[in-house]
């Protein structure tokens, strides 16, 4: 579904700090969940940013469902790509209420004025979306997002990111800051939402166990190339850990 061809990305080209991160990376992603693992600095976040159009590659091409999207900028890609970041404060407006944040996500890509931000007829729909999480957030519509816990914010980010049913969902260690129980809830919800809407999801994680449990496919990156690419059900946690440790 998403084809990445001959990707090349160098940071600080021509300086002493030059870093040739990707020299010729080609990889395809399908409408399923792919867990992306690899040591710190191997280029996971950069790859997601290149896909989101937030960074520009030096060379290479990207096609989504046969259409060349290489020239699409971040704004154009935001119409079909959503992201959830590691930091629970990213992707939400902390000084606005839960309701206002949901309304903002609902207006994504459309012009609006703040006064008309919240449309009353959508409130039940938002409440329903929050109730699906099972975290009681549907009773906190008027709470300011800055008063929510990290797990609650991250769950809200997930609901906001998937509200417009993006074709691609990019998750960059989106449960790294959460306690184990909340992390599990968010991962389960992520899995359910992406499977139900057949969203192509790329989930960066440092946890082999979560990768095996919540992804269909496991890709390990190492020094700018693919060190392992397998179906999740064909590999044990020990084998994955081995590859990961030596990547
Ligand atoms: N804007 C930038 N300018 C220069 N170098 C950068 C920039 N962004 C990232 N890098 C470098 O590129 C390399 C890959 O960074 P990236 O953030 O993609 O790694 P990562 O795999 O996401 O790591 P982590 O697991 O720590 O999140 C790192 O060495 C980083 O220092
Ligand atoms: Mg990263």
pLDDT at residue 112 greater than cutoff 70: no
Q: pLDDT tens for residues 187-233? A: 998 998 899 889 999 999 999 999 999 999 999 999 889 999 999 99
- Range name among 61-75, 108-122, 174-188 with the lowest pLDDT average: 108-122
Ligand 1 centroid from CA 46, angstroms = 6
Higher pLDDT, 89 or 140: 140
Query: First CA to last CA across the chain, in angstroms?
Result: 27
Does ligand 1 have an atom closer than 6 angstroms to the CB of 40?
yes
**Percentage of the chain with pLDDT > 90?**
67
The rounded distance, in Å, linking the Cα atoms of 108 and 110 is 6
Domain boundaries, the chain: 2-80+166-245
Q: What pLDDT score was predicted for residue 178?
A: 85
Does ligand 1 have an atom closer than 6 angstroms to the CB of 42?
yes
Question: Both tokens of residue 48?
Answer: 């997601």
Q: What pLDDT score was predicted for residue 109?
A: 64
Q: Which fold has domain 2-80+166-245?
A: Rossmann fold (3.40.50)
Q: pLDDT tens for residues 115-142? A: 677 788 889 999 998 988 888 899 999 9
CB 132, CB 189: distance < 8 Å: yes
Contacts of 118 (CB under 8 A, 6+ apart): 99, 100, 103
- Kindly give the number of the ligand 1 atom that is closest to the alpha carbon of 47: 18
pLDDT at residue 64 greater than cutoff 90: yes
Ligand 1 centroid from CA 42, angstroms = 7
**Percentage of the chain with pLDDT > 70?**
97
Does ligand 1 have an atom closer than 6 angstroms to the CB of 18?
no
Q: Which ligand has the minimum distance to the alpha carbon of residue 85?
A: 2
| Stated pTM of the model | 0.91
Mean pLDDT score, 157-165: 89
Q: pLDDT tens for residues 45-63? A: 999 999 999 999 999 999 9
């Amino acid at each position: 579904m998403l084809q990445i061809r001959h990707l090349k990305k160098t940071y600080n080209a021509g300086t002493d700090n030059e870093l040739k991160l990707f020299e010729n990376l080609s990889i395809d992603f399908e409408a399923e969940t792919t867990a992306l693992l690899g040591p710190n600095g191997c280029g996971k976040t950069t790859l997601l940013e290149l896909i989101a159009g937030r960074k520009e590659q030096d060379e290479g091409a990207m096609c989504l469902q046969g259409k060349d999207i290489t020239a699409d900028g971040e704004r154009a890609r935001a119409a079909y790509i959503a992201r959830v970041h590691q930091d629970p404060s990213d992707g939400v407006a902390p000084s606005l209420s839960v309701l206002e944040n949901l309304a903002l996500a609902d207006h994504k890509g459309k012009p609006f004025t703040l006064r008309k931000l919240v449309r009353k007829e959508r409130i039940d729909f938002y409440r329903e979306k929050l109730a699906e999480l099972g975290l009681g957030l549907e009773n906190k519509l008027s709470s300011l997002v800055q008063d929510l816990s990290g797990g609650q914010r991250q769950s809200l980010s997930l609901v906001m990111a998937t509200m417009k049913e993006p074709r691609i969902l990019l998750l960059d260690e989106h449960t790294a800051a959460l306690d184990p129980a909340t992390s599990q809830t968010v991962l389960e919800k992520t899995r359910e939402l992406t499977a139900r809407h057949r969203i192509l999801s790329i989930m960066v994680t440092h946890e082999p166990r979560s990768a095996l449990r919540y992804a269909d496919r496991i890709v390990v990156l190492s020094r700018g190339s693919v060190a392992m690419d397998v179906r999740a059900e064909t590999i044990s946690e020990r084998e994955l850990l081995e590859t990961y440790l030596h990547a």
